[in-house]
């Protein structure tokens, strides 16, 4: 690839900007688990209020459900972190 | 030596094979050294508990059957004792009757004997009295008639007379 | 903070077999540490068991075994505990101890996608085995193509299961590790700034006093809580998928 120095810098800037924007967009994935977990916890509290005798079961089930629901958020978070810190696309510029 | 890092998202074949082996080794270790042993111990204990319960059940059943046996024996013993008492009572009754009848017989014998004794005594007394009376009568008659009678002939006479009197009485 | 990069596991040592380089990474090395410690612990726990428990050690061992047995019995039905319970216990303890290693400054074992991927692939084959065992191979294929239109999606979801399991574990643990190291870097920067404020010339070897204590709180969440929850979730999901596969 035949870039002049300035062109390379411009290309790097575009890639970095794209990565930053991508990271920001990736963290939108945090909305879903937030809503879902909030809903799950609310339901769990309702259940505990109605049937206090199954408190421990409800709590542990809620935690497991939250951990599973968190997965999509974690995916977004990982993608965001990779985009921010691992700079996966810079190597395609072929410096 | 330069520190070499893997990529963040990298599949390293040696890690994959090693992890597989690790998991299998750990599985074997946990199964062989923990789960098998603990399961065996738990099974032993459960068996023992079950056996204890079984033993307790059999012991209870034994005790119950023995109790019924004893009850049967006890009731039969009661019957037996009642029988014995009844027999004894019967025997005693018989004996009592015998004794009483013997005693009655004896008493009757005694009474009879006493009666005959009395009769004899009476006869003897009567005879004596007759003799005395005849003697007295004779002496009275002697005195009355002042005449010596043939005592034997008169005696005969008087005796007959008294005999008539006695028969009449 | 300037040149903060996300790295994979460090290569501890490497050797070449023929023309292929075998890299023993930190993940494998740490999981060997886990393997040795857990094996010794397990052998100690399983030794000298008495019919009538007198030691606390035996009570702990029985509690653990009963817990796993009950989990398998509840989810898969009676009679399958012989192999599933120790397998799940092994996976659980491997993930849990591997993530707890990060409390002692090691790299958490599950924050390597090779490790979590391997476990997920094992789970995947286990699910496949159960599906084929209980439905027959033809029944399994028919189940894949049951609504004929959705066949590609069914096949895709078949492979999505292990990927999702691997990525969930990997994402949680490595995310925690990354955040922890970000915090460390930030605290180092903050310490340097404080040193600069009070006029001490800071070189590369100064003592970052802010790094004491504060990361421990985060470590409680990311290493302890997340590790326990995620390892439990992993075996629960394994059980749930196997149970699904049986039906």
Chain A residue numbers with beta carbons less than 8 Å from the beta carbon of B8 are: 82, 86
CA atoms within 13 A on the CB side of C176: 29
Residue the block writes with tokens 């890639």 = A15
Specify the number of domains making up chain C. Answer: 1
* Tens digits of residue pLDDT in B98-109: 888 888 888 888
Residue C238 lies in a domain: yes
Residue C242 lies in a domain: yes
pLDDT at C187 over 60: yes
pLDDT at B148 over 60: no
Show which subunits contact C, needing at least 3 CB pairs below 8 angstroms: A, B
pLDDT at B166 over 80: no
B46, with CB counted inside 10 A (0-12, 13-18, 19+), is exposed
* Tens digits of residue pLDDT in C60-108: 888 888 888 888 888 888 778 888 889 999 999 999 998 888 888 788 8
* Tens digits of residue pLDDT in A12-52: 888 889 989 999 999 898 899 999 999 999 999 999 999 98
Nearest Cα of chain A lies from the Cα of B13 at a distance, in angstroms, of 22
Q: Which of C58, C84, C112, C167 is the mutation pick for testing B, counting most B CBs within 10 A?
A: C112
Residue C6 lies in a domain: no
pLDDT at A80 (0 to 100): 87
Chain B residue numbers with beta carbons less than 8 Å from the beta carbon of A86 are: 8
Residue C3 lies in a domain: no
**Helix/strand/coil for A50:** helix
Show which subunits contact B, needing at least 3 CB pairs below 8 angstroms: A, C
Q: Which domain holds residue C64?
A: 11-246
Q: Report the range of poorest mean pLDDT among B60-64, B138-142, B164-168.
A: B164-168
Buried-state track A23-43, b at ≥16 Cβ within 10 A, e below 16: beebbebbeebeebbeebeee
Q: Which of B30, B33, B39, B48 is the mutation pick for testing C, counting most C CBs within 10 A?
A: B30
Residue the block writes with tokens 């009474």 = B111
Nearest Cα of chain B lies from the Cα of C211 at a distance, in angstroms, of 24
Q: How far apart are CA C141 and CA C143, in angstroms?
A: 5
Domains for chain A: give ranges and CATH numbers.
28-88 (1.20.20.10)
Contacts with C, A 19-58, CB within 8 Å: none
Residue the block writes with tokens 């009963």 = C66
Question: When comparing pLDDT for B117 and A8, which is higher?
Answer: B117
pLDDT at C1 (0 to 100): 43
- Taking the Cβ of residue A70 and every Cβ of chain C, the question of whether any pair is shorter than 8 Å is answered with yes
Tell me what ipTM this predicted complex has. Answer: 0.85
Residue range B134-161: mean pLDDT, rounded: 70
And the tokens for A26?
């990736």
Q: How far apart are CA C150 and CA B33, in angstroms?
A: 46
**Which of A1, C46, C26, C63 minimizes the C-alpha distance to B29?**
C46
**Which of C78, C67, C238 minimizes the C-alpha distance to C165?**
C238
Residue C1 lies in a domain: no
pLDDT at C3 over 60: no
Question: When comparing pLDDT for B122 and C202, which is higher?
Answer: B122
Q: What is the DSSP letter of A30?
A: G
Q: How far apart are CA C79 and CA C99, in angstroms?
A: 31
Nearest residue of B to residue A82, measured between CA atoms: B8
- Taking the Cβ of residue C64 and every Cβ of chain B, the question of whether any pair is shorter than 8 Å is answered with yes
Q: Which of A21-35, A54-68, C164-178 has the highest mean pLDDT?
A: A21-35
pLDDT at B168 (0 to 100): 58
Buried-state track C99-112, b at ≥16 Cβ within 10 A, e below 16: bbbbeeeebbbbbb
Distances (CA, A) of B43 to B16, C42, C229: 37, 20, 31
What percentage of residues in chain C have a pLDDT greater than 90? 10
- Taking the Cβ of residue B25 and every Cβ of chain C, the question of whether any pair is shorter than 8 Å is answered with yes
* Tens digits of residue pLDDT in B13-40: 888 998 999 999 999 999 888 888 888 8
What percentage of residues in chain A have a pLDDT greater than 90? 25
Q: Which of C85-94, C174-183, C221-230, C235-244 has the highest mean pLDDT?
A: C85-94
- Taking the Cβ of residue B11 and every Cβ of chain A, the question of whether any pair is shorter than 8 Å is answered with no
Residue range C122-130: mean pLDDT, rounded: 89
pLDDT band at C204; cut points 50, 70, 90: low
Task: Mark yes or no for CB contact B34/C69 under 8 Å.
Answer: no
């Amino acid at each position: 690839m035949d870039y002049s120095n300035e062109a390379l810098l411009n290309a790097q800037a575009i890639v970095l900007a794209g990565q930053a924007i991508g990271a920001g967009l990736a963290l939108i994935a945090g909305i879903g688990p937030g809503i879902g977990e909030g809903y799950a916890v609310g339901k769990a509290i309702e259940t505990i209020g109605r049937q206090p005798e199954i408190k421990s079961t409800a709590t542990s089930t809620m935690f497991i459900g939250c951990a599973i629901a968190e997965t999509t958020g974690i995916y977004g978070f990982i993608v965001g972190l990779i985009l921010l810190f691992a700079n996966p696309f810079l190597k395609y510029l072929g410096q | 030596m330069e520190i070499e890092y893997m990529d963040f998202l990298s599949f390293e074949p040696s890690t994959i094979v090693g992890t597989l082996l690790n998991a299998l080794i750990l599985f074997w270790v946990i199964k062989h050294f923990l789960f098998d042993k603990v399961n065996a111990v738990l099974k032993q204990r459960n068996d023992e508990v079950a056996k204890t319960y079984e033993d307790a059940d059999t012991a209870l059943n034994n005790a119950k059957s023995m109790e019924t046996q004893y009850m049967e024996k006890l009731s039969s013993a009661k019957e037996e004792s009642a029988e014995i008492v009844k027999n004894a009572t019967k025997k005693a009754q018989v004996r009592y009757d015998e004794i009483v009848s013997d005693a009655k017989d004896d008493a009757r014998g005694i009474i009879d004997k006493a009666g005959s004794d009395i009769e004899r005594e009476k006869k003897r007394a009567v005879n004596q009295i007759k003799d005395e009376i005849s003697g007295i009568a004779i002496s009275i008659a002697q005195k009355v008639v002042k005449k010596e009678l043939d005592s034997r002939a008169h005696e005969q006479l008087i005796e007959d007379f008294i005999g008539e009197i006695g028969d009449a009485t | 903070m300037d040149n903060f990069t996300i790295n994979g596991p460090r290569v501890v040592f490497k050797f070449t077999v023929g023309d292929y380089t075998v890299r023993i990474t930190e993940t494998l090395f740490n999981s060997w540490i886990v393997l040795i410690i857990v094996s010794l612990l397990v052998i100690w726990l399983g030794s000298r068991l008495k019919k009538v428990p007198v030691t606390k050690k035996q009570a702990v061992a029985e509690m653990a075994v009963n817990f796993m047995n009950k989990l398998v019995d509840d989810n898969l039905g009676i009679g399958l505990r012989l192999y599933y319970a120790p397998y799940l216990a092994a996976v659980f303890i491997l993930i849990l101890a591997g993530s707890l290693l990060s409390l002692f400054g090691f790299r958490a074992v599950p924050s390597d996608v090779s490790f979590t991927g391997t476990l997920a692939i094992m789970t995947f084959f286990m699910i496949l085995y159960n599906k084929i065992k209980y439905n027959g191979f033809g029944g399994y294929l028919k189940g894949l193509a049951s609504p004929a239109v959705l066949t590609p999606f069914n096949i895709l979801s078949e492979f999505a299961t292990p990927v999702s399991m691997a990525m969930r574990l990997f994402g949680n643990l490595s995310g925690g590790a990354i955040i922890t190291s970000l915090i460390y870097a930030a605290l180092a920067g903050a310490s340097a700034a404080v040193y600069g404020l009070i006029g001490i010339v800071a070189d590369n070897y100064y003592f970052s006093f802010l790094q004491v204590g504060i990361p421990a709180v985060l470590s409680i969440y990311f290493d302890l809580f997340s590790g326990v929850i995620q390892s439990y979730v992993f075996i629960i999901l394994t059980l749930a998928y196997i149970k699904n596969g049986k039906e």
